[in-house]
Structure 1
């Protein structure tokens, strides 16, 4: 059992947080079941990004085609 504050906030009891794996920063959702009960559900994180998705956009400004050609020909 918990009490609602004047701001509409509640504290989720520790045993419930532990059971659901809720930690600071976790997102939760409230859903209504067919029988009318309201259920607290942790929001699943998006699937982990692949190694390539994590690196996308981190290479900085790349070489131009002319620079690449000069590099492969040993002119740089």
Structure 2
């Protein structure tokens, strides 16, 4: 079975429905891309991430989203104290 799809300007490709169904792919699930010895792309259902792996990925994405935005030159302890409203530690 051979199917064709177009690549968008953002580098996205729609996987045809019958291919998704044959591979058991659902929205939000991982998809693996590999290459065989002939240099052809191979697509397969990816391994599901564990809950811990998903939390780590979400945390890293959140950190990446704010990288470089909060440079104050102040020690982190002072910033955290201001955020929490804590009194200085003795």
Q: Which range, TM-score by smaller chain? A: 0.5 to 0.7
* TM-score of the pair, normalised by structure 2: 0.48
Q: Which has the higher contact order (CA 8 A, sep 6+)?
A: 1
Q: RMSD of the TM alignment (CA)?
A: 1.4
List structure 1 runs of 4+ shifted beyond 3 angstroms: none
Query: Partner of 1:59 in structure 2?
Result: none
Structure 2 unaligned blocks of 5 or more: 51-90
2:3 counterpart of 1:13: no
**Structure 1 residue ranges without an equivalent (≥5):** 48-76
Higher share in helix: 2
